[in-house]
Amino acid sequence: MERALAVPRLPPHDPGTPALSVVDMHTGGEPLRIVLAGCPEVVGPTLLAKRRYMRQHLDHLRRRLMFEPRGHRDMYGAVLVPSELPDAHLGVLFLHNEGYSSMCGHAVLALGRFAVDFGLVPAPPAAAREARVNIHCPCGLVAAFVECEGGRSRGPVRFHSVPAFALATDLLVDVPGRGKMVVDIAYGGAFYAFVSAEKVGLDVCSAKTRDLVDAASAVTEAVKAQFKINHPESEDLSFLYGTILTDGKDTYSEEPTSNICVFADEQVDRSPTGSGVTARIALQYHKGLLELNQTRAFKSSATGSVFTGKAVREAKCGDFKAVIVEVSGQAHYTGTASFIVENDDPLRDGFLLK
């Protein structure tokens, strides 16, 4: 009979560097690494100030958690911080391979479950079928609604977005090596460029991921060079996050419409992209292709996972006509981990292969 090994709680490590304890989840295949403990205090009077502080003073922790050997170039993370908003149950900073996002829908869907199960909101009554979790994201307050059973999370989560709007439609952009093409830009907590994959000579459902990434990245860089992104309320939100290639099926249908999102430093979203679905619905509503409370299904061409979404009411964002969008999807737990550092490790803060 084999004798079980006595495993120490943590292997040898630098005692001056706290272990980073995390819970890992995924939503539609897109990972989320939630920091439980070990992160120093993120200083700042507002969430956006905390985002700036983490970028300037704690970015080594983002690299340590997101990059190899603990992560990979498509890893995604969340650091929970206090919020200055009285109605918020928690604040969150989103981490990716390039920096810090303003919004992440797949993460909100996962954090809704996490907040209920880890006691970040008052325990729902045993008979309650749904718990509300108010999550302060850098783009604003987002309400998640978590299906519950016996006081624990189960089943899908849905969230109500910040006001989402079309920034520019039928914008002519000259993409080097690919010619001129018409793109749309819309906001769903982050700004995205939208273009049918057919316009770049690809089928979003069958093309190689590398080809889709190259095409989307070319569009992103062209839009950044030729069009100024402005958010009407905050300069911190005034940037293009990425490009979403679609199957071109924007007219309403009961059949799912497929897309793939390439964001940050050529990072590929495995899910249909929650903030991208939000922006795409705002765009379709703006164009008169979708009515209020008309639900559409959005499929990831990477994994086949599906989110649903609908515009639930009209709103304003500065002078822009906007909508509040409801997005629904399913998140799952995948594990826990404690990450350590040895002080003689030359790759302690991670690396990425290009």
Q: How far apart are CA 320 and CA 231, in angstroms?
A: 10
Catalytic pick among 104, 137, 139, 317: 104
Residue 104 known to be catalytic: yes
Burial of 14 by CB count in 10 Å (0-12 exposed, 13-18 middle, 19+ buried)?
Answer: middle
Q: What are phi and psi of 214, to 5 degrees?
A: -60, -45
Spell out the residues 6+ positions from residue 252 whose beta carbon is closer than 8 angstroms to its own: 284, 289, 290, 291, 294, 296
Helices (H) and strands (E) in the chain, counts: 5, 18
Q: Please tell me the distance from the alpha carbon of residue 257 to that of residue 68, in angstroms, as a whole number.
A: 33
Give the DSSP letter string of 108-142. Answer: HHHHHHHHHHTTSSPPPPTT-SEEEEEEEETTEEE
Give alpha helix (H) positions in the chain. Answer: 47-57, 59-66, 105-117, 209-226, 274-286
Q: Are 71 and 117 in contact (CB under 8 A)?
A: no
Q: Which of 129, 126, 36, 141 is nearest to 78 (CA)?
A: 36
| 99 burial level (CB within 10 Å; 0-12, 13-18, 19+) | middle
Of 113, 70, 143, 140, which Cα lies nearest the Cα of 352?
A: 70
- Residues annotated as part of the active site: 104
